[in-house]
Structure 1
Amino acid sequence: MPRNALLTQDELEFIQNMQHNPQLNVRDASSSLTVNGGAQIRDLLTRLAAHDHLTIQAQFDNQQLTFPLHLVEDEFHAVHLRLGVPSIYEDGPMIRPWRLVLETPVALENIKGNPGSLWVREVSFKGVLVEARGRVKPPKTFSLWFSPSGYERIALRGSFERETARGLFAYRLSQGNAEETERLRQFILHQHRLVHPEVHA
């Protein structure tokens, strides 16, 4: 190679291998969003997403998925709209968050990973339905960890709402950390895919 070459032969081969590696050239289709319809529509959506809460809604059977739209800047400083993890709702006498009924209840854990007396029976992105084991009075609030099998544990903060006719306790979730909220939504979305594969096919 000439002395004034910008790249060595090894560097050039490395770059060529990267260009031809199919796994490195795959885009994340689940989160990207291309908007067709002219510059005016793109500009309007971008302005709305920058200043307000913008969503896309999908309706099917008795359920709806609401996807938040976020503005993201790429490495070239171009701004794009990206889909966030959806909130899933059920239609009925009133619209409510979709609840995942757990086949096996999961104990809420303390910071050290020790199970407590509250066991999650149903979970949504807004609340949990728990049973209290060991004749323990349910607390007014809790800040514990939800550790479903096969998933990284998720911090939950709940406030007591009511006791149900079945003797279970409903808690409203108030996630203080956006990352924990996102992880809970991811878990629920993954479970929704397993329960309703026809929707996600």
Structure 2
Amino acid sequence: MPNKVNLTSAELAYINELVSGSSTEPGETRAGFRVDGGEKANGLLLQLAAKANLTLEAELDEYCMSFPLQLKQDEFQTVHLQLAPPTIYERGPVLRAWRLHLDEPLPLLSNDGNETALSVHELSPNGLLVDAGTKHRAPKHLHMRLALPGEDSFQINAHRIRHAEGGMTAYEVAYPQDKDAERIRSYLYEQHQRLHPDLQPELAVDMPESS
């Protein structure tokens, strides 16, 4: 297989500009590319997108980012390619999703919106590190709500995978709504940029939150 190609600073900055336009209101169109490969090539891309997850991979020194690609066809049969917020991976002996340590833990909410004794201390695209408190036992399954700073809450479903240090419990999480999974990736992308200014100006500072 061919070697992976590292993107230039200008290319990464342009990718970030496209992803920054990915948070749109209903009825708006995301920023992206018009695909003009001809009827056969466009048809092949649409078939692939219908059967597989297409991604664009950005290689950095300590991290790599996997941007989901979304293909859409408008009423004029024109194909548009759009980028969604990425999953960030840390390089190491094992490639793993980057985890954000939260300076201020986020409380998990009951379905009626009230805070519970459970709080999230680390966050990744598909995982939570949860503190159940000294008086409670971490449940095997979570069917609760989570609110990112300054946003409305959304539903999460999670199951316990292991007990961690410091009385914490690790959960694998799923989001019933795809838009909420994208919202998490967008928030993590924004926080990764904030915590790693050494990547600037390769990646612009501002990353709007998903709607």
TM-score range, shorter chain: 0.7 to 0.9
- Name the structure 1 match of 2:142: 142
- Name the structure 2 match of 1:167: 167
8 Å CA contact 1:140–1:160 kept in 2: the answer is yes
- Name the structure 1 match of 2:70: 70
Q: CA deviation at 1:32?
A: 0.5
- Name the structure 2 match of 1:195: 195
Where in structure 1 are there 5+ consecutive unaligned residues? 1-27
**Partners of 1:35 and 1:160 in 2: CA distance:** 43
**Paired residue secondary structure (2:166):** coil
Of 43-52 and 84-93, more deviation after overlay is shown by 43-52
**Structure 1 residues 161 and 104: CA distance shift in structure 2, 3 A:** same
Corresponding letter in the other structure for 1:190: E
Q: How many residues end up aligned between the 2 structures?
A: 173
**Partners of 1:155 and 1:196 in 2: CA distance:** 29
**Partners of 1:42 and 1:56 in 2: CA distance:** 17
Corresponding letter in the other structure for 1:73: Q
- Name the structure 2 match of 1:90: 90
Corresponding letter in the other structure for 1:200: L
**Structure 1 residues 142 and 57: CA distance shift in structure 2, 3 A:** same
**Partners of 1:148 and 1:181 in 2: CA distance:** 12
- Name the structure 2 match of 1:3: none
Q: CA deviation at 1:44?
A: 5.0
Q: Which runs of 4+ in 1 moved over 6 A?
A: none
Larger radius of gyration: 1
Deviation track 1:50-82 (CA, whole Å, cap 9, x = no partner) reads 432211100112211101111112353312121
- Name the structure 2 match of 1:32: 32
Q: CA deviation at 1:150?
A: 1.4
- Name the structure 1 match of 2:14: none
Q: Percent identity?
A: 35
- Name the structure 1 match of 2:126: 126
Q: CA deviation at 1:134?
A: 4.2
8 Å CA contact 1:126–1:174 kept in 2: the answer is yes
CA root-mean-square deviation: 2.3
Matched, 1:60 2:51: no
